């Protein structure tokens, strides 16, 4: 988990996480915190083990840590957060020990995680997409009735 721990201690990463927390401090809906990132990583890794998707745990965690960082920039230029997150990820990945194929896998999962109506075709990207949704505990959310998610999308039970 060398890359994961490198990222967690990186000053720029910590600043982006703090900026996102500050930006969402008044948000009543699900937040995009470090806890969310870790929850997504753990659930995604379970999916990868269950479905025998051959990816390194470090790759899963780095993908999860980077996937929503673009939310701190969304709204500034009309670009969706997953595109900003992909750009942020590219800059961090240059400093890490992933080969080009692994970097492409990370960037693909980040770019496709938001579109649950468009099912990702790559097994890892699909596992990541599912994990991002399944990480939400809708059934216990105090803002459940105000949430814009349709009822069929809300998690009514714990899966992982």
Looking at 3.40.50.620, 3.20.20.70, 1.10.8.190, 1.10.3210.10, the CATH number of the domain 31-153 comes to 1.10.3210.10
pLDDT value at position 77?
57
pLDDT along the chain (160 residues), means of 10: 98 94 80 91 98 98 93 63 80 95 95 69 92 87 83 85
Ordered by start, the domain boundaries in the chain are 31-153
pLDDT reported for residue 75: 55
DSSP 59-106: HHHHHHHHTTGGGGTTTSSS--HHHHHHHHHHHHHTTS---HHHHHHH
Give the model's pLDDT for residue 7. 97
């Amino acid at each position: 988990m060398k890359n994961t721990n490198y990222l967690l201690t990186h000053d720029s990463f910590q600043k982006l996480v703090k900026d996102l927390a500050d930006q969402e401090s008044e948000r009543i809906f699900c937040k995009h915190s470090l806890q969310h990132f870790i929850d997504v990583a753990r659930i995604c890794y379970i999916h990868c083990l269950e479905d025998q998707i051959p990816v390194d745990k470090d790759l899963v965690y780095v993908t999860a840590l980077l996937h929503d960082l673009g939310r701190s920039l969304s709204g500034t230029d009309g670009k969706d957060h997953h595109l900003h997150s992909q750009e942020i990820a590219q800059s961090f990945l240059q400093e890490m020990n992933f080969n080009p194929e692994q970097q492409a896998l990370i960037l693909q999962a980040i770019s496709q995680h938001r579109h649950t109506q468009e099912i990702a075709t790559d097994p890892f990207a699909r596992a990541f997409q599912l994990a991002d949704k399944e990480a939400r505990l809708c059934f216990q959310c105090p803002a459940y009735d105000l949430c814009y998610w349709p009822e069929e999308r809300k998690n009514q039970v714990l899966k992982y």
